[in-house]
C-alpha cells in the first residue's frame, strides 16, 4: 500500500474557496481504481494548514491518478490558493 | 474524525528493532474503541524516516489511547531508537 501526505499552506481567507475547488477532485478521485483513502484535513494548530491524506493500493494506481483529468485540471487551481513556501508531498509505503 | 501524522526519524540501523518494538503497540491500538486506522509507513525517499498514520473517531478516543498501558510503555522505547531532531506529531481534523 502507498500512502501520500500532501500539505497545502493556504493564503489568508482562502479556506472556503479551497474546499469548494477540492470537492469535485475528492469526489472523482474516490471513484478511481485503487483509491483506498482520499481525505482533506485541517491542522488543529493552524487553520491555514491543510493536508490531503491518501492511501492507494499500488504505485500504479497513484501514477494513474496524477495523470487524471480531474487531478491535472484542479490541483493547479488549489496550488494557486496556497502560499509559495515549497510544501512537499511525502510518499510512504506501509510497513505494518 | 481526528487524524494524526506522527513522524519518527530513526537512528542508523534501527529499522528492524523499531518494527519489532512497534508491532505490539499497533496490534493493541487497533483493538481500541474509536481507532479507525493505525499504520506504520516508511518514506519512499529515506528509509530512516517512518510515520505513524492514524485516524480516530473522536478526540476522546485519541486522548484515551495516549494514556493506555501499551502507548505509555512502548512509545518511549520507540523514541529511544530515534534521533533527537524534534520531529513533531501533527494533529488534523477531517474536512472532506
Q: Which of A22, A43, A90 sits opposite B96 (nearest CB)?
A: A22
pLDDT of residue B17: 98
CB proximity list for B40: less than 8 A, separation 6 or greater:
A94, A95, A96, B19, B22, B26, B50, B51, B52, B53
Whether the CB of A14 is below 8 Å from some CB of chain B: the reply is no
Does the structure show a pLDDT above 90 at A17?
Answer: yes
CB spacing of B92 vs A53 below 8 angstroms: yes
DSSP characters over B54-68 = EEES-HHHHHHHTTS
Q: If you search the block for the grid coordinates 531532531, which residue do you land on?
A: B85
pLDDT higher than threshold 80 for residue B87: no
What's the rounded mean pLDDT across residues A6-26? 97
ipTM of this complex prediction, to 2 decimal places: 0.91
Contacts of B8 (CB under 8 A, 6+ apart): B18, B49, B50, B51, B52, B78, B79, B81, B82, B87
Whether B42 and A91 lie within 8 Å, measured CB to CB: no
Q: Give the model confidence (pLDDT) of B4-30 as tens digits.
A: 999 999 999 999 999 999 999 999 999
Is the entire prediction scored with pTM above 0.90?
yes
pLDDT at B50: 97
- A34 contact partners, CB below 8 Å, separation of at least 6: A56, A57, A58, A60, A61, A62, A64, A65
For residue A84, the model assigns a pLDDT of 80
Between CA A31 and CA B29, with CA B1 as vertex, the angle to 5 degrees is 105
User: pLDDT of A42-93, one tens digit each?
Assistant: 999 999 999 999 999 999 999 999 999 999 999 999 999 999 877 789 999 9
Amino acid at each position: 500500500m502507498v500512502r501520500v501526505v500532501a500539505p497545502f499552506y493556504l493564503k489568508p481567507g482562502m479556506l472556503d474557496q479551497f474546499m469548494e475547488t477540492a470537492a469535485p477532485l475528492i469526489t472523482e478521485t474516490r471513484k478511481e481504481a485503487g483509491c483506498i483513502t482520499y481525505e482533506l484535513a485541517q491542522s488543529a494548530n493552524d487553520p491555514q494548514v491543510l493536508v490531503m491524506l491518501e492511501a492507494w493500493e499500488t504505485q500504479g494506481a497513484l501514477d494513474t491518478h496524477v495523470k487524471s483529468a480531474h487531478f491535472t485540471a484542479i490541483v493547479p487551481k488549489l496550488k494557486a490558493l496556497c502560499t509559495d513556501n515549497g510544501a512537499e508531498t511525502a510518499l510512504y509505503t506501509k510497513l505494518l
